Amino acid sequence: MFTKKRNEDRTKNNGVKLESLVLQNSRLKFSSEQLQNLNFIFQKKLQYRSDFSDKTITQVNSVAERLIQRLLCGAGVIDSRFASKFLIPNNPKTTNHDIFHRGLCYLVRLDVLSQPCLYQLDTPPRLEVIENDPDCPPAYCRVRVAPSMMKSWSEFLNSSGYLRRDKIQTRLVELIAQSARSDSPNSPILVNESELCGIPGKIVEADILQNLLNVSPLEQVYYGPGGSVPRFPDPRDFRIAIVDEPEGIRLKIEFLSPAFANTCLNVRLLVAIGINAWPKSSNFPDRIPLVHSDCLLYHIAAETGMYLVGFGVQSSGWQIRVPAAENVILGHYSESSTVKTILDILYDAREEIEISRNLKKHLLSYRIINKYILLTVLLEALEKFSSTPLNDLIEWSPMFLSSLVLRILDQLISSLIQQMLPNYFFRNSNLMVTPGHLSEDDFFIEANNIKVYLLRLYDESLKPLTDDKYFINMMQTQESEIILLCKWRDFIQAMLPKVTQRNRKYWFLKPQNQEIVIYSQYTDMQLDYISLLLKHVLLVKQNKLEPQSDLINQTFAKDENESQQEIEDVIYLTILVMDQAKEFFLNKIDPIKRVSKIKNKYNNRTTKFIDLMRADQNFSTQKLSDDLLTVKTILKWLYRAIDYDKKILAPILRSYLNKLFQSSFAISWHLESIKERLNTSELESLGCFCKLVNSGEITPAQGLLDGSNKNWIWAKEILNMVEKHTLRIVFVSDRGKIYRHILSLPSYNKRKKLDSKENSFRSISRRGSTLPDRNYFTTIMRRGEFSESNLFVRGNLFQMRNKFIVNGYL
């Protein structure tokens, strides 16, 4: 009794506790006790999923993936225009094992049409991408090739010179069918890895591929296949049906081997053209205010380019997708974070709804909700349910897991009833647009399915769990976490200085001294964070695809007068902040008043103030030597705008700048962690290793031992893999230049390792030369069948298809 009272007092003193939740669309009310119970119920469900492991599904997916590589390699050999050096998974990411997942999806990048080019000497393709075409749906575009490319792609062009998605896809279907009938290639060792994808190390996520393509091929190294004699699956061991559909190429693979008898798998292949630019038709991340907690993350995500995907019913319409940006946003959160947990719960809810749908055979209904819709509503919640960085730490903590899930599902009910859910990256595109066979009743039935699921959760949450020791442990853990988070919030808020306008307190100082006082209010960490944020804002601006432009050859050339370009950047960022301040202010007032003359007056005053900036002689001749000086200059002019117009600009700008000051102060305490995430020292050291290997100065074994002695994580991970089994690594320097290395432990070293607690790898002296003798490893180099030239010069990025690849180093 006394313990319960003490715990209630601790929560009350911190001012944070679970409150009852009312769901407007489902008309349900969950008490705080029910929400606590749901937290435990969700955790138990996910724990069951993580404990459940079906090795058959994993093996089936692995075999199917290697079969797809075999078919695409054969297609690329037959027609080099369809060669793809990488294979991009397009499967929704889940933390827990998906026991219902029976399908795979991949993007097949057409390297000949994509940017960046694979190799420096390749001729860049000349394409024109037309967004916002009136004949195309939102989030679609048309692609026109240059006259110099029309001859080689003439069979895929319409009368207007646009690339026809349907003809390209049909041709790939024919090539895959021919490849399935062919006997070669039967081994990854025989594949020309400089143009095709035959090894597992080149099956890469879109965001990792973007990093790879921005690095010279001389700076790349990949994992090779496993096994003593690597071989592709034989297509004759499968029954393969290839279907050309508007949604892409669908391969239905039926296993004929006894090990996987009666097993079928659907694989979706989507033809894609990589574009190293951000779509102009997207208002992301421009709509994200600088005061948002994840503003920096969103701008980094928008630097990853886009893909034009063959998807839809229009013959010449290409769908714009940004899978790399989605991966960057999701990859920011750890596997045990609340965000990833919510996504897993949403996927689990979808499967439970599907099970109940299959049981109702008397009621015919169609599945409208897909995993991308669930990902979209989660991204919307991350943007919408954000107030301040300090509050977000608490409101997105595990204690509020059930509240967030219920609110998201309730909002999804509203979207289904209204048949409207905007694409997160393209607001004009409606994800609820479905084929014509769906009626309004189908949407109501799907919304009702979610209501039934929420009712089931309501009933489950009524069961008392106070006697469950695991529930008690969870409650204590969440309570302790909330107490720590609240203390951190109070600690930061207590140190937050009060922002003082210079025209109030420092009126007696000279104008130049007043400006210095403005800078002194911001800490060095604040200025450093703001400069990092504004730097990425400019990078996104420069990376945007200009309409009606020559895409591939478009370069964002700097002005000959660099100082003038810096001045224009300062003006652009000043206008950006002033526009965001206006939207921030107008969102607070009554919507009817938004159409009043406040907006027009603010715009007119802003225009006059910008003209004043351009006319200022000191500003136009100012040299901005570093990023911090740029930030100080922007802040100086923003605070000067407050003095310039105290009636219109001042009240709007003052509240937004105060918000920017508070958010930057809170986030700046995590600046070291942010910079650590952006640190590329591991990749640079890996590049140094590859450079030495490719130049012939050291062997891979020597380089790995040296890197391990210097405590590089990548070297230690690779050595740990070599200790367990033989490892192949592949270097590709240029077209036709492939070199394969096999790393393994000699048998006597393996026996010695079993008897010794400390591995002999770690016993090399760190003084003097750290390169060990070559015979410490068995290193076999297989020269490429396509060239006899020497090893190349550098390798930087490593793509790993097992547990080590996504540990934050790529």
Q: Which of 306, 330, 354 is the last residue of a domain?
A: 330
Residue 782, classed as helix, strand or coil, is strand
Crossing angle of helices 713-724 and 700-709, rounded to 10°: 120
Q: What is the predicted pLDDT for the residue at 451?
A: 97
Q: Is the predicted pLDDT of residue 453 greater than 60, yes or no?
A: yes
Q: Considering its fold, how many domains does the chain have in total?
A: 4
- Domain identity same for 86 and 66: yes
Burial zone of 706 (CB within 10 Å; 0-12 exposed, 13-18 middle, 19+ buried) = buried
The pLDDT of residue 12 is above 90: no
Give the model's confidence band at 673: pLDDT under 50 very low, under 70 low, under 90 confident, else very high. Answer: very high
pLDDT value, residue 635: 93
pLDDT of residue 369: 93
Average pLDDT over residues 628-648: 91
Q: Are residues 527 and 469 in the same domain?
A: no
What tokens does 360 get? 């109702």
More confident residue, 776 or 170: 170
Q: Which of 147, 127, 120, 17 is nearest to 482 (CA)?
A: 17
Q: Tell me, what CATH number does 414's domain have? A: 1.10.1410.40
Is the pLDDT assigned to residue 519 strictly greater than 80? no
What are 506's two structure tokens? Answer: 């420092």
Are residues 464 and 606 both part of a single domain?
no
Distance CA 603, CA 766 (A): 64
Question: Cα 428 from chain centroid?
Answer: 22
Q: What confidence tier does 590 reach under pLDDT thresholds 50, 70, 90?
A: low
H or E element at residue 21:
strand 21-23
Q: Which domain holds residue 77?
A: 57-330
Average pLDDT of the segment spanning 324-329: 97
Q: Is the C-alpha dihedral spanning 764, 769, 773, 779 positive or negative?
A: positive
Both 28 and 61 in a single domain?
no
Task: Give the model's pLDDT for residue 762.
Answer: 38
38 SS3 class: helix
Question: What's the CA gap between 57 and 203, in Å, rounded?
Answer: 19
Helices (H), 311-370: 323-331, 338-359
Residues 359 and 216 in one domain: no
Assess if residue 483 is contained within a domain: no
Beta-sheet strand order (sheet of 727-734): 778-783, 737-744, 727-734, 219-223, 794-799
Spell out the alpha helix ranges (H) of 437-495.
440-461, 469-495
In a domain, 774, yes or no: yes
| Residue 149 falls inside a structural domain | yes
pLDDT above 60: residue 552: no
Amino acid at 633: T
pLDDT at 684 over 80: yes
- Among candidate residues 312, 330, 348, the one where a domain is terminated: 330
Among the residue ranges 242-256, 395-409, 636-650, 778-792, the one predicted with the least confidence is 778-792
Quick check: 269 pLDDT over 60? yes
Same domain, 232 and 100: yes
Cα 52 from Cα 307, distance rounded (Å): 35
Dihedral, 548, 550, 551, 553 alpha carbons, nearest 10: -160
Amino acid at 609: F
Going by C-alpha positions, the residue among 407, 416, 414 that lies closest to residue 457 is 407
Least confident segment among 12-16, 234-238, 280-284, 455-459: 12-16
CB atoms within 10 A of CB 740: 21
Percent of the chain past pLDDT 70, that is, above it, reads 82
| Model pLDDT for residues 474-489, shown as the tens digit of each residue | 999 999 999 999 999 9
226 and 286 fall within a common domain: yes
pLDDT band at residue 521, thresholds of 50, 70 and 90?
confident
Residue 785: predicted pLDDT: 37
Question: Is 293 within a domain?
Answer: yes
- Checking 336-340 for CB contacts under 8 A at 24+ apart, the result is 338/396, 338/397, 338/398, 338/400, 338/401, 338/404, 339/378, 339/382, 339/396, 340/95
Distance separating alpha carbons of residues 87 and 39, to the nearest angstrom: 38
- Report the range of poorest mean pLDDT among 154-158, 358-362, 501-505, 788-792: 788-792
511 & 472 share domain:
no
Give the tens place of pLDDT for each residue, 686-719: 888 888 888 788 888 889 999 999 999 999 999 9
Cα 151 to Cα 146, 156, 184, distances in angstroms: 10, 10, 29
Residues 672 and 746 in one domain: no
- Examine residue 345 and state whether it is found in any structural domain, yes or no: yes
Residue 801 has pLDDT above 90, yes or no: no
- 615, pLDDT greater than 60: yes
pLDDT beyond 90 at 423: yes
Six-digit token pair at 691?
């450079």
Closest CA to 771 of 720, 717, 698, 716: 698
Residue 704, in any domain of the structure: yes
Tokens (6 digits) for 798? 């490593």
Cβ–Cβ under 8 Å, residues 191 and 267: no
The Cα–Cα gap between 581 and 567 comes to 21
The predicted pLDDT at position 190 comes to 93
- For residues 156 and 178, membership in a common domain is answered with yes
- CATH number reported for the structural domain that contains residue 137 in this entry: 3.30.460.90
Residues 782/740, Cβ–Cβ less than 8 Å: yes
Place of tokens 């993007």: 107
For the segment 32-82, what is each residue's pLDDT rounded down to a tens digit?
999 999 999 999 998 887 776 667 888 899 999 999 999 999 999 999 999
Q: Please indicate, yes or no, whether residues 614 and 634 belong to a single structural domain of this protein.
A: yes
In this prediction, residue 500 carries a pLDDT of 60
Final residue before a domain boundary, out of 330, 362, 382: 330
The stretch 198-226 carries a mean pLDDT of 91
Question: Cβ(116)–Cβ(276) under 8 Å?
Answer: yes
User: What is the crossing angle of helices 700-709 and 681-694, to 10°?
Assistant: 150
Residues 6+ apart with CB under 8 A from 189: 225, 230, 740, 782
DSSP state at residue 274: E
Structure tokens at 720: 């740990």
Whole-number mean pLDDT of the chain?
84
Q: Does residue 290 belong to any structural domain of this protein? A: yes
pLDDT of residue 96: 53
- Is residue 509 pLDDT above 80, yes or no? no
Q: How confident is the model at residue 261 (pLDDT cuts 50, 70, 90)?
A: confident
Cross-strand bridge partners of residue 321: 307
444 and 373 inside one domain: yes
* 804 in a structural domain: no
pLDDT of residue 363: 72
- Within 8 A by CB and 6+ apart from 641, the residues are 578, 609, 649, 650, 653
pLDDT band at 786 (very low <50, low <70, confident <90, very high): very low
Cite the DSSP H helix spans in 681-788: 681-694, 700-709, 713-724, 747-755
**Range from 7-16, 247-256, 424-433, 635-644 carrying the lowest mean pLDDT:** 7-16
SS3 label, residue 517:
helix
pLDDT computed for residue 99 by the predictor:
46
Virtual CA dihedral for 790, 796, 800, 805, nearest 10 degrees? Answer: 160
